[in-house]
Amino acid sequence: MIALLAVLGLVVGGTAELYLRQSLYKQVDTKLSEARKFAIREFINRPGGPPQSVGGMVLGFNDLPLYEPPPNIPTGSILLYLDSSGAVVGGGHVVFNEAEASSNHRFNNKYNDLTESQVSTLAAAVPTNGDKVGVDVDGLGDFRTASWSVDTDSGTVRVITALSVADENHTLVKVAIFTGCIVLGSLLIAGWGGALIVRRTLKPLDRVAATASRVAELRLDRGEVRLAQRVPEVDTDPRTEVGQVGAALNRMLDHVGNALEARHASEMQVRQFVADASHELRTPLAAIRGYAELSRRSRQPIPDELAHVLGRVESEAKRMTALVEDLLLLARLDAGRPLAQDPVDLTMLAVDATSDAHAAGPRHYWQLDLPDEPVTVIGDGARLHQVLANLLANARTHTPEGSTVTVKVGTVPDAAVLQVIDNGPGIQAELVPHIFERFARGDSSRSRAAGSTGLGLSIVHAVVTSHGGKVGVQSRPGQTVFTVMLPVATAPAVPTAEHHTPFLPRAG
């Protein structure tokens, strides 16, 4: 708006300046035409000159000498007479004659001689056809000039008349400065007033933006979401542009809210189905395992082929039981079942879990790096033990025999840290972002000799999240680091595990 007003002010001011210049110079041209008459009359009516007709005007005799300016030529003008060779035969720069004025002489002006440079400038720049042109005379300033030729018995005389435009130029400069000040002041007032009006007019849009910002801060990717934020009714007037935006935003929030409610209802149905199915499957699976074990304990001899089949039935029943238990645990965690809130010593938990992992994988090298002082958090000890057991089982399952697995326990500001580090082949880069998703599995380069349901790391993520913590992974060939960060008793927040240093400081 300010730019448009500035352009408008320049256009208006420039147009007014051009019109004023044209008017002032037109007045000067009129005076220049009048001065021409007096200049020619002065030359024709000099003493001894015959009466002649110039432009239809008959000139008479008088006793004015040629070396005195005509009384009607203003001070500061230039009146110059040149013969056919260009030599000066009379005239000059008209100035005020103080000596004659003090003696009450009837002519108060006189001629000052012009320099050769000034004469040549006028002679070269002014055409002889009577056209008015502007000339900058060195040392005297800007003039509006015209030239005419007068034929006499002794030859042709060129008469050059020049009127100073200093007053007109000064007037134009003052008007330009005044106009510029007016335009600048108008722009300042318009800018201040416009900003005030725009801010006041757009306040409803600020409230609409605030509503959108509050909605943007909501967690919409999981769980039950209540979109209670709406644009106030006063900002939804369809007769205004802002009101149309506010009404459209409210309609969009209604649609999004309905979609989120439908999504949550569908998720709850799926979770309830998984929980119910898992719960119901536990009994038949226990029966299958029981019958398989009972058949192996029979005193009657069992053919080897049948014994092998029963053994496979029992092993697959155990595997399916583990899968059902994992699904049931995830369903309960998704449902927000409260966990135990007891002090848990992470150092002892690491010792126990590592001992169990050593018994399950004796051909791996297991190491502990523990601090001198116990690291204690508040949580569910059994679930945290399962977290570490799953991480160790993942390292044992997906690294070759002879690999080294290190368990580190330590602290950082506001959080306790568990790290499981192995020197195996690493995780594929495209799999890392999805490693904690359910049923995520690596390729054949990470061995699965012991089998896997694909739920171990998703259980780790769910349990750690339920404790208010965070889990992350960093992997490259020869090094994989899983980092679990759990809040201490007084921690307001837990740092992000993905951006934590790959190694805790060595204990001791």
Give DSSP secondary structure letters for 213-282. Answer: HHHHTS--SSS---------GGG--TTSHHHHHHHHHHHHHHHHHHHHHHHHHHHHHHHHHHHHHHHHHH
Kindly tell me if the per-residue pLDDT of 182 is higher than 80.
yes
Q: What is the pLDDT of residue 482?
A: 92
Q: Are 180 and 12 in contact (CB under 8 A)?
A: no
Q: Please state the pTM of the whole predicted model.
A: 0.47
Q: Are 45 and 59 in contact (CB under 8 A)?
A: yes
Residue type, 458: S
Fold adopted by 243-334: Helix Hairpins (1.10.287)
**Which stretch of 96-110, 372-386, 411-425 has the lowest confidence by average pLDDT?**
96-110
Residue type, 140: L
Report CA-CA distances (Å) from 507 to 35, 290, 341, 415, 471: 109, 47, 27, 16, 21
**Which stretch of 37-51, 161-175, 256-270 has the lowest confidence by average pLDDT?**
37-51
Antiparallel, parallel or unpaired: β 141-152 and 133-137: antiparallel
Q: Are 504 and 408 in contact (CB under 8 A)?
A: yes
Among 438, 402, 404, residue whose Cα is nearest residue 420: 404
Most confident of 2-11, 214-223, 332-341: 2-11
Q: Are 95 and 110 in contact (CB under 8 A)?
A: yes
The mean pLDDT of 24-51, rounded to a whole number, is 72
Please return the burial class of 450, using the count of CB atoms within 10 Å of its CB with bins 0-12, 13-18 and 19+: exposed
Antiparallel, parallel or unpaired: β 470-476 and 479-487: antiparallel
Report CA-CA distances (Å) from 486 to 348, 382, 464: 16, 15, 7
**Distance between CA 75 and CA 64 in Å, rounded?**
18
Kindly tell me if the per-residue pLDDT of 39 is higher than 80.
no
The mean pLDDT of 6-11, rounded to a whole number, is 89
| Tokens at 170, concatenated | 């000064």
Cβ neighbours for 79, distance < 8 A, ≥ 6 positions apart: 35, 39, 42, 69, 70, 73, 91, 92, 94, 111, 159, 160, 161, 162
3-class secondary structure, 48: coil
Domain boundaries, the chain: 2-171, 243-334, 342-499
**Distance between CA 470 and CA 475 in Å, rounded?**
17
Computed over every residue of the chain, the mean pLDDT equals: 78
**Distance between CA 292 and CA 287 in Å, rounded?**
8
| DSSP single-letter state for residue 202 | T
**315-339 burial, b for 16+ CB within 10 Å, e for fewer?**
eebeebbebbbbbbbbbbbbeeeeb
| Tokens at 459, concatenated | 């259980």
3-class secondary structure, 170: helix
3-class secondary structure, 112: strand
3-class secondary structure, 105: coil
The mean pLDDT of 342-348, rounded to a whole number, is 89
Q: Which CATH class is domain 342-499?
A: alpha beta
3-class secondary structure, 368: strand
**Distance between CA 170 and CA 176 in Å, rounded?**
10
3-class secondary structure, 435: coil
**Which stretch of 5-9, 309-313, 456-460 has the lowest confidence by average pLDDT?**
309-313
| DSSP single-letter state for residue 45 | T
Higher pLDDT, 477 or 444: 477
Express each pLDDT in 103-154 by its tens digit: 555 556 787 888 888 888 888 888 888 888 888 888 888 998 988 887 766 6
- H or E, element range at 208: helix 203-216
Kindly tell me if the per-residue pLDDT of 365 is higher than 90.
yes
Q: What is the pLDDT of residue 18?
A: 92
- H or E, element range at 320: helix 304-334
Q: Are 208 and 249 in contact (CB under 8 A)?
A: yes
Helix-strand-coil percent breakdown of the chain, rounded to 5? 50, 20, 35
3-class secondary structure, 267: helix
Express each pLDDT in 477-500 by its tens digit: 888 999 999 888 654 455 555 555
3-class secondary structure, 484: strand
Among 416, 506, 434, 414, residue whose Cα is nearest residue 475: 434
Ramachandran category for residue 417: left, alpha or beta (phi over 0 → left; psi -120 to 50 → alpha): beta
- The total number of residues written for the chain in this structure: 508
Q: What is the pLDDT of residue 390?
A: 87
Sheet containing 88-96: give its strands across: 109-112, 88-96, 78-82, 155-164, 141-152, 133-137
**Which stretch of 92-101, 123-132, 308-317, 441-450 has the lowest confidence by average pLDDT?**
441-450
**Distance between CA 14 and CA 389 in Å, rounded?**
85
- Residues paired with residue 272 on neighbouring β-strands, in sequence order: none
Among 93, 116, 115, 97, residue whose Cα is nearest residue 106: 97
Q: Are 399 and 364 in contact (CB under 8 A)?
A: yes
